[in-house]
C-alpha cells in the first residue's frame, strides 16, 4: 500500500454515530424459542386465532429447515435459544396511542437520531412510524393521511383494525416457506408497518418507518406490508440504527409489497445498523427478505437501498413482474468497511409481456470489508419482449478488501433481451492528485469521487434521504480511504 492509500484508509475509520443506548423500563420475554414463546408474543398482541395458527405453522416448518450456506459471508452459528424474541418499552397508559402517552425518553431517543416525532417539528411532508425493538411506539400524521384514505399504522394495529386486508395479503408475496429467515420471521414477528393506498390515490406525503434496536440480546423481527391499489402511488422510506454492543444481534425482517394495475411503489432504505467495531466484534446480522409483487399490468416497484451498516447484510429486494408492462427497479449502494460483509442484490422475475427491469448496484469495499452482489434475472417463457439491464460496479479502497459479483441470468424467451455489465475499479492515484492539485483535501476528494460513483443510485432517493445518504456515506468513509 502506498502512502496515499494509507492515508485514504485512515480516512474511512470513523466511529459509529448512533451507538447510544436508552434506559427504559421494558417488557421483555426471556431468551428462548418455543411454541410457548410464540403463543406469548401472539397473546401480548391480542391476535386473532388465524394469525397464531399461521405463526405456529411457520414455526413447525422452520424447525425442519437449516441455515442457508450459499451466501458469501462467514459467521459463527446463531444460537436461536439465546435470543429474546420480544421486548417493548412499558406503556404508560392504555387506549389509543397518542404522543402524550409515549415515554419522553423514547421521544428523546428518536430526537437524538434526528427523527422528531412531534408533528410540528417533523420534516414537512414525511409521516413516520417509529418502531422501537419489538413494537411501534408512534405514528405521525395519521389524520391528514386518513383523510386521503391512506392507512398508515403499525402492523399490530392493522391486525386489529383491518383484519381482512391484512389476512388477504399477509404472506402472499413472501410465503413462510420461502427461506429460513423469512420463515423464522413468520413465526415470531412482533411489529412493523402496514400501508394501504386506495385505488387512484396518490399518497399526499412520504411515509417512513424508523427502526431502532435498543435492548441487548433481542432480535428484531418486523414485518412490513404495503398494498397499492390500482392507479395509486406511494413513496416509502425506512431507516435503521442500533446501539453499540459486543454481541451480534439478529434482525430478520420481511417486507411484502403488492402493486396492482398502474400502481407505483417507491421503497427506499437507508440502513445504518451498528456495524460492529474495527475488529469485527458485535454488530447487527441483517438478514432480510424483501419482495415486491407487480401483480397488475403496468405496475411499477422500485427498490432503492443505501446499505452502510450491519456486520452482515443478507438481502435481495426483488420484483415479481407478473403484470404485462410491469417495471421493476433496484438501485443499491452497499458499503463494507472494517470487517463488514454484505451479500446483497436482487431478483427480477419476468413473467408478463413487455416487462422491464433495471438494476444498478454500486459496491464499495474498504478495510477488510467483503462486498458481494448476487442477482438473478429470470425471463420465463411468457415474458415476451422483456428487457433487463444490469450494471454492477465495484469500488475497492485498500488491498485487503474484496468485491464479488455473482449474477445469474436465466432466459427462456428469445424475444427477451438481457444485458449485464460489471466493472471493478479503485480510486486512482491520478484522480486524487487531480483533485488535490485543485485545492481539495484528500478527504473531500475521496468523498466527491465516492459520491460520484454512487450518483445514479442517490438520485433515485427522495430529496431528504438523498442528503442523509450522502452524509452517511461521508461519515462511513471518513478515515476509510486507502
Partner 1 sequence: MITAAQQSDWLLHHLSQSAGNLPGRGLAWLENLRREAARSVAQLPVLNRKQESWRYTSIDSLLQQRFITAGADIGGLENLDISRWMLPGLDAYRLVLVNGRCLPSPASSADLPEGVVLGSLRTALATDPDRLSAWFVRNSGRSDNLFTALNSALINDGALLHVGTDVVLDKPIEILHLHLGHERPLLVQPRNLLVLEPGSGVTLVERAIGADSSAAFHNHLTEIYLSAGASLDHYRLQDENQRSHHLCTLFLSQQEQSRYRGTHLSFGGVWARTDCHALLQQPGGECEINGLYTVGDEQLKDIHLRVHHAAPRCTSRERFKGILHGEGRAVFDGHIIVDRGAQGSDAQLRNDNLMLTRSAEVDTKPQLEIYADDVKCSHGTTVGEVDPAQLFYLRSRGIDKAQALSMLSLGFAAEISNGIRLNALRSYLAQRLARKLGGQTDASGMDSGNV
Partner 2 sequence: MLSIKELRVSIEQKSILNGLNLEIGSGEVHAIMGPNGSGKSTLSQVLAGREDYLVSGGEVLFDGLDLLALETEERAHAGLFLGMQYPVELPGVNNMTFIRESLNALRRARGEPELDAADFLRRVREQAQLVGLDQALLKRGVNEGFSGGEKKRNEILQMAMLQPKLAILDETDSGLDIDALRVIAGGVNGLRAADRSIIVITHYQRLLDYIEPDRVHVLVGGRIVRSGDKQLALELEQRGYGWLDEAAA
- Please say whether the beta carbons of 284 and 213 come within 8 A: yes
Task: Give CA–CA dist 357/300, Å, rounded.
Answer: 10
Query: Using N-to-C axis directions, what is the helix angle for 35-44 and 49-63, rounded to 10°?
Result: 150
**Candidates 68-76, 101-109, 115-123, 449-457; binding stretch for partner 2 (CB under 8 A):** 449-457
Q: Rounded to whole angstroms, how far apart are CA atoms 401 and 411?
A: 33
Residue among 2 and 46 whose Cβ is closer to partner 2 = 2
Nearer to partner 2, 225 or 392 (CB): 392
User: Which of partner 2, partner 1, none does residue 408 bind to, with CB < 5 to 8 Å depending on kind?
Assistant: partner 1
300/334 Cα distance (integer angstroms): 23
Binding site for partner 1 (CB under 8 A): 70, 379, 384-385, 394, 396-426
Nearer to partner 1, 160 or 424 (CB): 424
Cα(199)–Cα(211) distance, integer angstroms: 28
Distance CA 22, CA 35 (A): 30
Question: 385 is in the binding site of which of partner 2, partner 1, none (Cβ under 5 to 8 A by kind)?
Answer: partner 1
Residue 401 cell numbers, joined: 478488501
Report DSSP state, residue 170.
T
Residue 269 is placed in which grid cell? 432504505
10 lies in the binding site for partner 2 (CB under 8 A): no
With binding defined as CB under 8 A, does residue 451 bind partner 2? Answer: yes
Per DSSP, what are the bridge partners of residue 286? 251, 313
d(CA 338, CA 360): 24
Q: Residue 221 in contact with residue 140, Cβ under 8 Å?
A: no
DSSP H or E run through 166: helix 163-169
**Residue 120 to residue 459: CA distance in whole angstroms:** 28
Shortest CB 437 distance to partner 2, Å: 5
Please identify, using beta-carbon distances, which residue of 177 and 424 lies nearer to partner 1: 424
Identity of the residue, 414 or 439, whose beta carbon is nearer to partner 2 in the bound complex? 439
> Is residue 6 within the footprint of partner 2 (CB under 8 A)?
no
Residue 455 binding result from partner 1, partner 2, none, given CB thresholds of 5 to 8 Å by partner type: partner 2
- Helix orientation angle between 180-188 and 35-44, rounded to the nearest 10 degrees: 50
Minimum gap (Å) between residue 420 Cβ and partner 1: 5
Handedness of CA 273, 276, 278, 280 (dihedral sign): negative
The contact mask relative to partner 2 for 330-369 (x = CB under 8 A, - = no) is ----------------------------------------
Task: For residue 455, state whether it binds partner 2 (rule: CB under 8 A).
Answer: yes
Q: Of 358 and 394, which has the nearer Cβ to partner 1?
A: 394
Question: Minimum distance between the CB of residue 362 and partner 2, rounded to whole angstroms?
Answer: 10
Least separation, in Å, of the C-beta of 406 and partner 2?
24
Beta carbons within 10 angstroms of residue 38's beta carbon: 19
Residues within window 384-443 making contact with partner 2, judged by CB under 8 A: 428-431, 433-442
The nearest distance, CB 11 to partner 2, in angstroms, is 14
- Cross-strand pairs, 126: 206
66 touches partner 2 (CB under 8 A):
no
Residues forming the site for partner 2 (CB under 8 A): 2-4, 428-431, 433-442, 444, 448-449, 451-456
Amino acid at each position: 500500500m502506498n502512502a496515499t492509500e494509507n492515508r485514504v484508509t485512515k480516512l474511512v475509520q470513523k466511529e459509529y454515530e448512533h451507538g447510544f443506548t436508552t434506559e427504559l423500563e421494558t417488557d421483555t420475554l426471556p431468551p428462548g424459542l418455543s411454541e410457548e414463546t410464540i403463543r406469548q408474543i401472539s397473546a401480548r398482541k391480542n391476535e386473532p386465532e388465524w394469525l397464531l395458527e399461521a405463526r405456529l405453522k411457520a414455526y413447525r416448518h422452520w424447525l425442519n429447515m437449516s441455515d442457508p450456506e450459499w451466501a458469501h459471508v462467514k459467521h459463527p452459528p446463531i444460537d436461536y435459544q439465546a435470543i429474546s424474541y420480544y421486548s417493548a418499552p412499558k406503556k404508560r397508559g392504555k387506549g389509543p396511542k397518542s404522543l402524550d402517552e409515549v415515554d419522553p425518553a423514547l421521544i428523546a431517543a428518536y430526537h437524538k437520531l434526528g427523527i422528531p416525532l412531534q408533528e410540528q417539528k417533523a420534516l414537512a411532508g414525511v409521516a413516520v412510524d417509529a418502531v422501537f425493538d419489538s413494537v411501534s411506539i408512534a405514528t405521525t400524521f395519521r389524520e391528514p393521511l386518513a383523510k386521503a384514505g391512506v392507512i398508515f399504522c403499525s402492523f399490530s394495529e392493522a391486525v386489529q383494525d383491518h383484519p381482512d386486508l391484512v389476512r388477504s395479503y399477509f404472506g402472499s408475496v413472501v410465503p413462510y416457506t420461502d427461506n429460513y429467515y423469512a420463515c423464522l420471521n413468520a413465526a415470531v414477528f412482533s411489529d412493523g408497518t402496514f400501508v394501504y393506498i386506495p385505488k387512484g390515490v396518490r399518497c399526499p406525503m412520504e411515509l417512513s418507518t424508523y427502526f431502532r434496536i435498543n435492548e441487548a440480546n433481542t432480535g428484531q423481527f418486523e414485518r412490513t406490508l404495503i398494498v397499492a391499489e390500482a392507479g395509486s402511488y406511494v413513496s416509502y422510506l425506512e431507516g435503521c440504527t442500533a446501539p453499540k454492543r459486543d454481541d451480534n444481534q439478529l434482525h430478520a425482517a420481511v417486507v411484502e409489497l403488492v402493486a396492482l394495475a398502474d400502481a407505483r411503489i417507491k421503497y427506499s432504505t437507508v440502513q445504518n445498523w451498528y456495524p460492529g467495531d474495527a475488529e469485527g466484534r458485535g454488530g447487527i446480522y441483517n438478514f432480510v427478505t424483501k419482495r415486491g409483487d407487480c401483480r397488475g399490468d403496468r405496475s411499477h416497484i422500485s427498490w432503492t437501498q443505501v446499505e452502510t451498516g450491519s456486520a452482515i447484510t443478507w438481502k435481495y429486494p426483488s420484483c415479481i413482474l407478473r403484470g404485462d408492462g410491469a417495471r421493476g427497479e433496484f438501485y443499491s449502494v452497499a458499503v463494507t468497511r472494517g470487517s463488514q460483509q454484505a451479500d446483497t442484490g436482487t431478483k427480477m422475475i419476468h413473467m408478463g409481456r413487455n416487462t422491464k427491469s433495471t438494476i444498478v448496484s454500486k459496491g464499495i469495499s474498504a478495510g477488510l470489508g467483503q462486498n458481494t452482489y448476487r442477482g438473478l434475472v429470470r425471463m420465463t417463457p411468457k415474458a415476451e419482449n422483456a428487457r433487463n439491464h444490469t450494471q454492477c460496479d465495484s469500488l475497492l479502497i485498500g488491498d485487503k478488501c474484496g468485491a464479488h459479483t455473482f449474477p445469474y441470468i436465466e432466459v427462456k424467451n428469445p424475444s427477451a433481451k438481457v444485458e449485464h455489465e460489471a466493472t471493478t475499479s479503485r480510486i486512482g492515484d491520478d484522480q486524487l492528485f487531480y483533485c488535490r492539485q485543485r485545492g481539495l483535501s484528500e478527504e473531500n476528494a475521496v468523498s466527491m469521487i465516492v459520491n460520484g460513483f454512487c450518483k445514479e443510485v442517490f438520485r433515485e432517493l427522495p430529496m431528504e434521504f438523498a442528503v442523509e445518504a450522502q452524509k452517511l456515506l461521508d461519515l462511513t468513509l471518513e478515515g476509510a480511504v486507502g
